[in-house]
Every structure is written in C-alpha cells, then in structure tokens.
C-alpha cells in the first residue's frame, strides 16, 4: 500500500533529487510558534518533516534537542497537541509526509491503538520510536498497520548483518541510518566509512535510506546526498529555532535545500 512517504520518494527519484528531511520538536518553543514553523517548512525546502514528541527522559538526544523537549513540556505540550498541529497543517498541505519521532513511553501511556487511530485521523504517515527494538515492536505494528502508519526503522553503525536482516523484514517507508554511535547533535561521521556502510545496506534492500544524527551544515548535506536517498537535519535546525527568528531558521532550511539540489 502506497502512502505519502512512498509517493514522495518515488517523485524525488523520478526527478533525480534527494530528500531533505527536517526535524523540529513539537511545541517548541510554544505550541503556536511550533505550528508556524511546521507550516513554513515545505515552502522552505523540506521534503519530509519529523516532529519530535517531547518526553522527560530523552535517552538518545543531545543537549540541544533535550532542551527543546523541556521547553515544549514547559509550554504544556502533549500528544493531543501534536495531533492538533498536524491536523491544522493538513488543511493546507496534504502531500508532505509527516513522521512523529520520540520514545515509546508516551505512546504506550496514550494507548497504542488510540495513538495509531488519532495519528491516522490527524494525517501522520509514520513513526520513529528510538527505544522500541524489533524484538518488542509487534504490539505497536499490529495496531499501526491497519491505519497505514509506517514504523520507520533505525539502523546504526553497530547493526550487524543478522540484525539488519531482522530489521528489514517488516521495514516500510524508508530506513533511517544513524550516522554516528551516540546521542544526537554531538559529533559528525567519517564520510568514507559512512558511504561504505550506506552502500552495504542498499545492497540488502530497495527501501530509500536517509542519513541523520550529526549533520549540521549545507556542505555535509550535499556530500551525504551523493550516496543516500535523503538527509535528516535536526539539532542544527532546532538550535536555529532556539536562537534566531523564524525567518532566519527558514533561511537555514533553504540553504540546506539549495546545497542539496545543486550537488546533484
């Protein structure tokens, strides 16, 4: 079954372009501003958008995204607010894929089936749950699949071939390759080893592969796009949102997109 994610990557492939995937924290710095940021991303160059679900114990996040999550929580952001933000976004944009990213605890406490139902009603296309391993994902996927919600799988530098095969069995949408071992936004990957690893994964699957974690500059985006199907920028954008105006943050997204497109 094809959805917005598959359609976007197919369209990009036909145009011989790569995907710019941007991450923002839902509700950061407040719910109203976050909604404005979300609405501005597609026209600034974002092909797919990840929205963080704020959580009090973000084990995989570096200081920048952790701070964004705390700001969102302090602003009173809950999952229902994230769904409301996506619902509003869908009134004017029904084609840009939206992926929610975060931790399993808020989803579990919300109620897995209710979460999947409300995500579908809002217009969410996929979910990344960084602490849900393949061995324990069935209780989520059995509820997500009837609603067409893709569980986007993470692959890391330490994923061996046996585990990769297990991850790929139920993979859908695209694969998110974590470029560095560690938390978000702290260090950058060695480009040659990254290229070798991505090409190895490509030999095992036809799914698009997007690379994220530690990608901060337009130059890095351009380089990684030469061997991946998409590039994810999170911490660098979240930092711009925290320290600069909305217009300046969107100019940064435009610069990422411009470098990505001009490099191909």
Catalytic residue among 28, 47, 61, 239: 61
Q: Is residue 61 among the annotated active site residues?
A: yes
Which two tokens mark 27? 């509700």
Secondary structure element (H or E) that encloses residue 247, with its range:
helix 246-262
Q: Is residue 28 among the annotated active site residues?
A: no
Which whole-number Å values give the CA distances from 196 to 20, 132, 228, in the listed order? Answer: 21, 26, 11
Catalytic residue among 6, 50, 66, 125: 50
Radius of gyration of the chain from its Cα atoms, rounded to whole angstroms: 17
The DSSP string of 45-67 is T-SEEEEE---S--TT--HHHHH
What DSSP designation does 204 have? T
By the 8 A CB rule, do 65 and 184 touch? Answer: yes
Nearest Cα to 38, choosing from 24, 54, 19? Answer: 24
By the 8 A CB rule, do 128 and 178 touch? Answer: no
Alpha-carbon gap, residue 24 to 216, rounded angstroms: 14
Catalytic residues: 50, 61
């Amino acid at each position: 079954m094809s959805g917005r994610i598959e359609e976007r990557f197919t369209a990009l492939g036909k145009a011989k372009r790569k995907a710019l995937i941007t991450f923002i924290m839902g509700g950061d710095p407040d719910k109203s501003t976050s909604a404005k940021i979300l609405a501005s991303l597609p026209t600034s160059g974002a092909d797919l958008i990840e929205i963080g679900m704020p959580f009090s114990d973000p084990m995989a996040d570096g200081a920048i995204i952790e701070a964004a999550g705390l700001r969102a929580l302090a602003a009173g952001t809950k999952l229902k607010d994230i769904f409301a933000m996506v619902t509003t976004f869908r009134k004017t944009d029904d084609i840009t894929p939206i992926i929610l990213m975060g931790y399993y605890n808020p989803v579990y406490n919300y109620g897995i089936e209710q979460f999947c139902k409300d995500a579908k009603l809002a217009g969410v296309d996929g979910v990344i749950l960084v602490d849900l391993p393949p061995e324990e994902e069935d209780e989520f996927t059995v509820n997500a699949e009837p609603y067409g919600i893709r569980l986007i799988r993470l692959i890391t530098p330490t994923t061996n071939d046996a585990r990769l095969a297990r991850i790929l069995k139920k993979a859908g949408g695209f694969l998110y390759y974590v470029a560095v071992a560690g938390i978000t936004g702290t260090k950058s990957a060695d480009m040659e080893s990254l290229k070798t690893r991505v090409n190895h994964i490509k030999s095992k699957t036809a799914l698009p592969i997007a690379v994220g974690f530690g990608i901060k500059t337009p130059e890095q985006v351009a380089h990684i796009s030469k061997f991946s199907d998409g590039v994810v920028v999170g911490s660098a954008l979240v930092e711009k949102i925290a320290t600069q105006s909305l217009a300046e943050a969107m100019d940064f997204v435009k610069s990422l997109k411009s470098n990505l497109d001009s490099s191909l």
